[in-house]
Each structure stands twice: as structure tokens, then as C-alpha cells.
Amino acid sequence: MPLAPGTRLGPYEVTSLMLGAGVVMNVVSLLSVGLYVSEMFSLLYSRGIEPPEGAFPVYLLMRFAWGFVAVWFYVAARPRFGPGLKTALLSK
């Protein structure tokens, strides 16, 4: 159900929205890494190059930040372009 114009979200809804965006970004990113980047990782490992210690948690935090930014751009573009997929694609 869409919100009425001028309706503000409470702090719990905003938190849920941002956590959801971060989870979606992480799932999509991890799937794409598993499908498309695994060859690159296997090549790097075969040459003895490994990611730095502690890189994975930083990577996950960055994906949450990108999820936050993506939602922020969508929310900023929605009043001008309306809700929907077109707005989501334009805000990327």
C-alpha cells in the first residue's frame, strides 16, 4: 500500500528499509561474485595472490553502504519520476 504524500517513515521503518537494502545488495553481489568472478579468484590463488586479512567484512560493509546510497537515490528520484521500476533504474 503506497504512502500518502508527505507521510514520513518512523525510525523502525527506515532501519528496516536500510537493512533490507543492504541484505539485497549483499546477496546479489555474492551471487554475481560466485558466478562471474570465480575464475578471476582462482587465477589469483593459483599465482599465490590472496585477499588481505579482514577484507571480507569490509566488503560486506561497503555493500551495505551501496544499498543505503541506492535507496537514497531512489527516494530522491521518486517524487519527480513516480514509483516503479523506471525510477529505480534511473536512480542507479
Domain span at 61: 11-90
Within a domain: 60: yes
Residue pLDDT, tens place only, 38-69: 788 888 889 999 878 888 888 888 888 888 88
User: How many domains, the chain?
Assistant: 1
* pLDDT attached to residue 48: 92
What pLDDT is attached to residue 1? 47
In whole angstroms, how large is the CA radius of gyration of the chain?
17
- Report yes or no: 28 and 78 within 8 Å, Cβ to Cβ: no
Asked whether residue 1 is domain-assigned, the answer is: no
* Assigned domain for 5 exists: no
Residue 61 confidence (pLDDT): 85
| pLDDT (tens digit per residue) in 2-24 | 555 666 666 657 777 777 788 88
In a domain, 3, yes or no: no
Q: Is the pLDDT of residue 25 over 50?
A: yes
